[in-house]
Structure 1
Amino acid sequence: MKKASGFEIIAARCWNLLNEGKPFTPIFTLSVYVLYHMNAWGDGSFWEQLGLGLLAALPLFALYFYYDFPLFLRNYLWFPVIAALLLWRDTELDLGLYALGIGLFLFFTIYFWGTFYYHLRIGTSWWNFRRFWKLVLKNSDSTSGNAQEQLPKFLLLLFVVDTAGAKWAGTSAQANDFGWGSYAWFVIGAAVYAWVLHHYLFDWKPKEMAGNTVPAARPAKSTEGKVFVLVIDGMRKDRFEEANAPFLKKWRAEGAEYTQMETVYPARTVVCFSSMFTGTYPREHGITSNMVWKLGIKVESIFDSLRKIGKRGRLLGIAHLIDSMGDDVESVTAVMHNDKADRNIMERAKLIVAEQNPDLLVVQFIATDQTGHSMGALYDEYRQKIEEADALIAEFVGWLTERGDADNATFIVCADHGQADGIGGHGHLDEGERYVPFFLYGQHVRKGVKIDAKQSLVSVAPTLSYLLGAPLPSHSRGPILKDAFE
């Protein structure tokens, strides 16, 4: 299986500017405005008007970048739009501008992204748009494809850019009631409004663990074997229950299961992996979305801890993970038919074991998540990818057993996040995202145990330190999952 090329790594970062909702909003607003006024590009007064309009909109751009407006809070985004229309009701609207914005958004999300992009990248059908439009209109995640969030945002921003720019550049007599004073109060009101919403209504974000991880004595019985963390990216807990996954369900029944394992917020892949393998939260490790503005985590990871004792860990995953974990990632190309992705990843995992013999190997299986992104998590194709991952993991473990690498080894099987309905389907902890499958299996794992106490994926890194005899990562906060072991 090919590694992600340098071009793919850069392309993935560029795509995240359009994929992640926060950078998409200003990029899309500016693009729509400029395209609509193509005929005026040669007129210097147009660029003056655009500059003044963007300057006026800057506080709103910042406000929408700072606040998430997750899940039902998106419904409240329409109130500033209505307030602006009432406050400056004498302004003549250029309906063509807003129609272009809505049209381009639907074309970008439903066809260019949902069909053309996914067909070229993972081989979805050219008819994928027939399903994808539903995902765009009812999605619950934090990507640019969220119509509930993006429509009110860019419509208000287009209104401000167009109206303020025309008024203050003196190019329109229609915007005569749009003054600095009224607009300043509007911005202040919008900021207070956003703060009130998030302070009083945004109450489902998981609470952080207080203090750092408490070290624990290693068990008397040696656990010096290898550790394998098998992450089925984006696997919903309830869909795993529905899937025909005999191997993993046998492991779960014979091992130790954490029935209330919670992911972190925001539940985006790079964020979750960063928290899992540093043991702490986004505010400390610095990765707050798949769009990584400053490469590299700010704290130590489990891979750093292993190096301190002369051991080695590897993370086999897609190019996005390089942005946070750097050289500890063995990248795989994400440009392949989705039916081949997990098979190729498993073969690459075998190669890493055979050639590098790491003490810790983390494998990211991506086909389940990609199916959820492109076709939705509540369809048969998504469940089938979970079943395929089950068969591949059974094959991989059989291969490890033949080599003797499974002897004395500990296996952790989990998802980094679940998926809700809609495009991408994860980010803001909607139903199906928050709690993930999580269980351990191995010679030193307790047999047939279910732990119902709520836990967090930030416990992965300290538990790996415990198993491998490594120091805790510098900012580790999650408790060690000691009750899973003899």
Structure 2
Amino acid sequence: MEKAKQASSFEKIAAWCWNLLNEGKPFTPIFAAGSFLLFHLGLFEDVRFWQSFASSLLVVIPLLIIYYLYDFPLFLRNYLWIPFIAYLLMFDTVNLGLLLFAAGLYFFFTVFFWGTFYYHLRIGTSWTNFTRFWKLVLKNSDSTSGNAQEQLPKLMLVLSVWSYAFSVFYNGGTFADIAAGQLIILYAGLFIYTFILHHYLFDWKPKPIETYTDNAEVPEKGMNDKVVVIVIDGMRKERFEEADTPYLDYLRKNGTEYAKMETVYPARTVVCFSSMFTGTYPFEHGIKSNMVWRFGVRTESIFDSLRKVGKKGKMLAVAHLVDAFGKDVETFTAVMKNDVVDYKIMEKAKQIMDEQDPELFIVQLISTDQTGHSRGVLYDEYLQKIKEADHLVKDFIGHLEKSGKAENTTFIICADHGQADGIGGHGHLDEGERIVPFFMYGPTIAKGKVVEEKHSLVSIAPTLSYLLGAPFPSHSRGPVLMDAVKKGSDQ
């Protein structure tokens, strides 16, 4: 089978641009402005329109800032309609046509453009995918453009205030004619209301480890010649338990499984990978969503640690991960049919191991995650992708065994995050996201052991350092996963 092609420069730029419409925070102002402009398309030749548009934009900017800073994660989204109701009670004007137009445009964008057209061109889903996707959008829980329960009430309030201010300016009014007192009360009330919700009701975010890694000293000589980490992106733990995965079951039963391995917050792919391979959290490594404004993690990564001892690490992943780890990532294109993408990734992985022979190799499989996003996690297609991943992992490890590169190698199999209901939502740690599959297998790893104590994915980086004899990354906070190390192997 033909190997996966490398992601082109155009794809890397396109992936970054797509995140402007995919991530919830930038989507809200972009879509609100786009809806407003399209609704008033017939006024574009009127100079008064652009003057009024610019003036009313200034009025609505404080509201956009509040919604950018606070995204109302998960259960807090239930409180988003209250500010809109407050607006309706305080102001006697609402542009019902604009609101209905925006709602219709929103569902066209998410259900048809994104859920059908985009996924058909990118991964080959059916042209009838909209018949399922509309239900997934209504159930989605993460902070993306596909979260109707978050985006719709935000858009209703933003567009209502915008339309009110625009009508004042367009009809000859000035800033003096704006009901400034009412707007100040609305904005101040919204800010206080939002602040209280996020600081006193948002209590499910995992607490970061306060100290840097200190539970072990790195051996002078690495325990392993190599470590291979295979990340099955978006594999929900309970669905993994249900899937037909004989080889993965063999690895975890003959290795050490961490039954309560917790992902980080927000559980977005680039954030999770950044935390996994720096050993710390977004407040330190600086990657806080898939939308990366400043490229590169701000702390040392495991790749930096390995370079200090003359060893090489390599990651095979989608273009998004270049934003965090730069040249340490060898990309593959994500624009290919979902039925073949993981197969081609693993063919490329074999080539990298044969030709580059890194001491640390990280492989990202994406088909399971893409199936969750395009078809949902509660369907048979999702289980089928996990089953296919099982076959591919077996084939890949078999290849390493034949070439002698598995002899003193530890294998780590995990997910970066789970997936919730809806369009495979992940980000705000809904049910199905927080606890991920995680197990280790190899000659220095304890066999048949299950660790029930809760751990975090930030432990991956220091554990890799420990196994390969490299210093811990500069800001590594996770403890080394010593429960998995055979007694006597660390001597």
TM-score, normalised with respect to structure 1 = 0.97
Say whether the 8 Å CA contact 2:234–2:417 is kept in structure 1.
yes
Provide the C-alpha distance between the structure 2 equivalents of 1:166 and 1:279, rounded to a whole number of angstroms: 52
Name the structure 2 match of 1:106: 107
Q: CA deviation at 1:222?
A: 6.0
Say whether the 8 Å CA contact 1:50–1:162 is kept in structure 2.
no
Q: Deviations over 1:282-320 (max 9, x none)?
A: 111111111101111111100011111110000100000
Q: CA deviation at 1:124?
A: 0.3
Provide the C-alpha distance between the structure 2 equivalents of 1:53 and 1:293, rounded to a whole number of angstroms: 27
Provide the C-alpha distance between the structure 2 equivalents of 1:186 and 1:141, rounded to a whole number of angstroms: 26
Q: CA deviation at 1:167?
A: 1.9
Provide the C-alpha distance between the structure 2 equivalents of 1:347 and 1:247, rounded to a whole number of angstroms: 19
Provide the C-alpha distance between the structure 2 equivalents of 1:224 and 1:259, rounded to a whole number of angstroms: 24
Say whether the 8 Å CA contact 1:206–1:264 is kept in structure 2.
yes
Say whether the 8 Å CA contact 2:277–2:461 is kept in structure 1.
yes
Name the structure 2 match of 1:12: 15
Q: How does 1:55-134 map to 2 (within 5 A)?
A: 55-88=58-91, 90-91=92-93, 93-134=94-135
Name the structure 2 match of 1:42: 45
Provide the C-alpha distance between the structure 1 equivalents of 2:354 and 2:409, rounded to a whole number of angstroms: 16
Provide the C-alpha distance between the structure 1 equivalents of 2:289 and 2:50, rounded to a whole number of angstroms: 33
Unaligned runs of 5+ in 2: 487-491
The one-letter code matched in structure 2 to 1:156 is L
Say whether the 8 Å CA contact 1:255–1:441 is kept in structure 2.
yes
Name the SS for the 1:115 alignment partner.
helix
Name the structure 2 match of 1:322: 322
Name the structure 1 match of 2:196: 196
The answer to whether 1:355 aligns with 2:358 is no
Provide the C-alpha distance between the structure 2 equivalents of 1:170 and 1:403, rounded to a whole number of angstroms: 77
Name the SS for the 2:339 alignment partner.
helix
Name the structure 1 match of 2:489: none
Q: CA deviation at 1:166?
A: 2.2
Q: CA deviation at 1:447?
A: 0.8
Provide the C-alpha distance between the structure 2 equivalents of 1:158 and 1:171, rounded to a whole number of angstroms: 20
TM-score, normalised with respect to structure 2 = 0.96
Q: How does 1:7-406 map to 2 (within 5 A)?
A: 7-88=10-91, 90-91=92-93, 93-168=94-169, 170-171=171-172, 178-214=178-214, 216-218=216-218, 223-406=223-406
Provide the C-alpha distance between the structure 2 equivalents of 1:266 and 1:212, rounded to a whole number of angstroms: 21
* Structure 2 CA distance for partners of 1:380 and 1:69, relative to 1, 3 Å: same
Unaligned runs of 5+ in 1: none
Say whether the 8 Å CA contact 2:222–2:469 is kept in structure 1.
no
Provide the C-alpha distance between the structure 2 equivalents of 1:376 and 1:422, rounded to a whole number of angstroms: 6
The one-letter code matched in structure 2 to 1:96 is G
The one-letter code matched in structure 2 to 1:2 is K
Q: Deviations over 1:14-61 (max 9, x none)?
A: 111001111000000000111111111111211121112111111111
Say whether the 8 Å CA contact 2:95–2:160 is kept in structure 1.
no
Name the SS for the 1:166 alignment partner.
helix
Q: CA deviation at 1:381?
A: 0.3
The one-letter code matched in structure 2 to 1:131 is R
Name the SS for the 2:109 alignment partner.
helix
Say whether the 8 Å CA contact 2:224–2:408 is kept in structure 1.
yes
The one-letter code matched in structure 2 to 1:82 is I
Provide the C-alpha distance between the structure 1 equivalents of 2:422 and 2:173, rounded to a whole number of angstroms: 41
Provide the C-alpha distance between the structure 2 equivalents of 1:164 and 1:224, rounded to a whole number of angstroms: 65
* Structure 2 CA distance for partners of 1:424 and 1:23, relative to 1, 3 Å: farther
Q: CA deviation at 1:424?
A: 3.5
Say whether the 8 Å CA contact 1:114–1:132 is kept in structure 2.
yes
Q: CA deviation at 1:94?
A: 2.4
The one-letter code matched in structure 1 to 2:100 is A
Say whether the 8 Å CA contact 1:143–1:424 is kept in structure 2.
no
Name the SS for the 1:346 alignment partner.
helix
The one-letter code matched in structure 1 to 2:59 is A
Q: How does 1:427-438 map to 2 (within 5 A)?
A: 427-438=427-438
RMSD: 1.5
The one-letter code matched in structure 2 to 1:204 is W
Name the SS for the 2:446 alignment partner.
coil
Q: Count how many residue pairs are aligned between Structure 1 and Structure 2.
A: 483
Q: CA deviation at 1:105?
A: 0.2
Q: Deviations over 1:385-440 (max 9, x none)?
A: 00000000000000100000000100000000000011241110000000000000
